[in-house]
């Protein structure tokens, strides 16, 4: 399996996030990647740099104003004499206007962000762009005939919507990969999201489309982040009706419940008649994860990998979450080795 990764991820670092009422160092750190790279090295899987894709390639799934905001946000912050990490503190909830984008940086941040856990620092834009290029390259390789590729993306992407960022995500790497596969001739593409958190951004991006199936297994939004999307009654609308499927599980779920949901999710993908697959690969379902509450053990990841690989589809695996840094490499490798 070919592995794509960019060292430019490291520019996104050093932020704090609002967690349980306190500012704490980000859970989503560059160190996560160091552990994954070590595991890949042990498995003798070499890493390749991504190809260049222009900013225009992002506009197939993202809004142009949003991309401009991400690109300039930290420069605007510095122009106001500030330095360091940017976090929003006010959001356009019910009753407030979201048709008008404030000119000032604080209002603009609140407009585009949906949480206070996703800081922007000086290197964030370049890291996010490189992460998107990693996913696009991995998809291009599959379109050119590779059976499967692994996009070692950082920052992650599945919470980023057409014009929103949050959940440690800025650009939606998995959605970009799925779109790239569509554009290169795969008629029907499925996205399987196995991150602990619902992939609200990916769901939103494809919600009205029948050519991309979105299927997600995650902690129930009733109690788990991102709280406001990911229920079983969300099934898609218009041409997308029936092409979104959510499998929310209670916090504390273990292997039995997980395995049953995964089997159903895979059945959906088979029935859809997918020509290619994108996996939003979060390993924050691990029992040792510091911000999540499933009870999967290390030995379960090879089983998950084997179940997904049995679809026998051209597959792009895109790294999402996973915050138990010491174990993240082994858990990711457990999935990859099934391919």
Task: Map the footprint of ligand SP5 across residues 112-171, applying CB under 6 A.
Answer: 117, 156, 159, 167-169
Counting Cβ atoms within 10 Å, is residue 81 exposed (0-12), middle (13-18) or buried (19+)?
exposed
Task: Map the footprint of ligand SP5 across residues 43-102, applying CB under 6 A.
Answer: none
Q: Report yes or no: 315 and 277 within 8 Å, Cβ to Cβ.
A: yes
199 binds Zn ion (CB under 5 A): no
Instruction: Show the CA angle centred on residue 285, arms to residues 191 and 85, nearest 5°.
Output: 85
**Would you say 8 or 197 has its CB closer to ligand SP5?**
197
For the CB of residue 18, give the shortest distance to ligand SP5 in the complex, in Å.
9
195 binds ligand SP5 (CB under 6 A): yes
Cα within 13 Å of Cα(108), Cβ side: 17
Strands, E assignment, the chain: 2-5, 16-19, 22-25, 47-48, 148-152, 189-193, 212-219, 244-249, 276-281, 315-319
User: Which residue in the shown chain puts its C-beta closest to ligand SP5?
Assistant: 321
236 binds ligand SP5 (CB under 6 A): no
For the CB of residue 238, give the shortest distance to ligand SP5 in the complex, in Å.
28
Single residue of 284, 289, 327, 330 touching Zn ion by CB under 5 A:
284
- 193, interface contact from Zn ion, ligand SP5, none, CB < 5-8 Å by kind: none
Q: How many residues bind ligand SP5 (CB under 6 A)?
A: 15
**Would you say 112 or 272 has its CB closer to ligand SP5?**
112
Q: Report yes or no: 316 and 149 within 8 Å, Cβ to Cβ.
A: yes
**Would you say 321 or 329 has its CB closer to Zn ion?**
321
What is d(CA 230, CA 219) in angstroms, rounded to the nearest whole number? 9
Structure tokens at 33: 């990647």
Q: Report yes or no: 113 and 70 within 8 Å, Cβ to Cβ.
A: no
What is d(CA 124, CA 109) in angstroms, rounded to the nearest whole number? 14
**Would you say 122 or 284 has its CB closer to Zn ion?**
284
197 binds ligand SP5 (CB under 6 A): yes
- 168, interface contact from ligand SP5, Zn ion, none, CB < 5-8 Å by kind: ligand SP5
Q: 9, 62, 111, 159: which one is catalytic?
A: 159
Longest dimension (CA), the chain: 55
- 293, interface contact from ligand SP5, Zn ion, none, CB < 5-8 Å by kind: ligand SP5
Positive or negative torsion for Cα 228, 229, 231, 233: positive
28 binds Zn ion (CB under 5 A): no
For the CB of residue 300, give the shortest distance to ligand SP5 in the complex, in Å.
18
Structure tokens at 166: 């949050």
Kindly report each contact of residues 253-259 with a partner whose C-beta sits within 8 Å and lies 24 or more positions away, as own/partner.
Answer: 253/219, 253/294, 253/295, 254/294, 254/295, 254/296, 255/295, 255/296, 255/297, 255/300, 258/217, 258/285, 258/294, 258/296, 258/300, 259/303, 259/307
**Would you say 117 or 119 has its CB closer to ligand SP5?**
117
Q: How many residues bind Zn ion (CB under 5 A)?
A: 6
Active site residue 197: no
For the CB of residue 206, give the shortest distance to Zn ion in the complex, in Å.
19
Single residue of 11, 15, 219, 282 touching ligand SP5 by CB under 6 A:
282
Single residue of 236, 282, 314, 329 touching Zn ion by CB under 5 A:
282
Residues that bind ligand SP5 (CB under 6 A): 117, 156, 159, 167-169, 195, 197, 225, 282, 284, 291, 293, 320-321
Catalytically active residues are 159
């Amino acid at each position: 399996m070919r592995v794509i990764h960019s060292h430019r991820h490291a520019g996104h670092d050093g932020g704090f996030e609002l967690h349980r009422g306190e500012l704490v160092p980000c859970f989503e750190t560059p160190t996560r990647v160091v552990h994954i790279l070590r595991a890949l090295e042990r498995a003798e899987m070499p890493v390749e740099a991504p190809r260049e894709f222009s900013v225009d390639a992002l506009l197939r799934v993202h809004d142009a104003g949003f991309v401009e905001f991400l690109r300039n946000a930290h420069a605007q912050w510095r122009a106001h004499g500030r330095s360091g990490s940017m976090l929003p503190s006010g959001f356009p909830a019910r009753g407030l206007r979201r048709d008008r984008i404030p000119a000032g940086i604080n209002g603009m941040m609140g407009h585009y962000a949906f949480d206070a856990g996703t800081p922007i620092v000086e290197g964030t834009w370049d890291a996010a762009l490189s992460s998107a290029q990693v996913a696009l390259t991995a998809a291009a390789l599959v379109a050119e005939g590779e059976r499967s590729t692994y996009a070692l993306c950082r920052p992650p992407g599945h919470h980023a919507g057409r014009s929103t960022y949050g959940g440690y995500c800025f650009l939606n790497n998995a959605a970009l990969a799925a779109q790239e596969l569509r554009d290169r001739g795969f008629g029907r593409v499925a996205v399987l999201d196995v991150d602990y958190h619902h992939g609200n951004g990916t769901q939103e991006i494809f919600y009205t489309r029948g050519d991309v199936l979105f299927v997600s297994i995650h902690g129930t939004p009733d109690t788990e982040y991102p709280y406001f999307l990911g229920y079983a009654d969300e099934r898609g609308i218009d041409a997308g009706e029936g092409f979104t499927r959510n499998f929310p599980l209670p916090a504390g779920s273990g292997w039995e419940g997980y395995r049953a949901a995964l089997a159903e999710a895979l059945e959906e993908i088979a029935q859809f008649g997918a020509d290619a697959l994108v996996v939003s690969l979060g390993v924050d379902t691990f029992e040792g994860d510091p911000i999540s509450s499933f009870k999967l053990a290390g030995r379960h990841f090879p089983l998950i990998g084997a179940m997904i690989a049995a679809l026998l589809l051209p597959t792009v695996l895109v790294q999402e979450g996973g915050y138990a840094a010491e174990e993240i490499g082994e858990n990711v490798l457990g999935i990859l080795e099934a391919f």
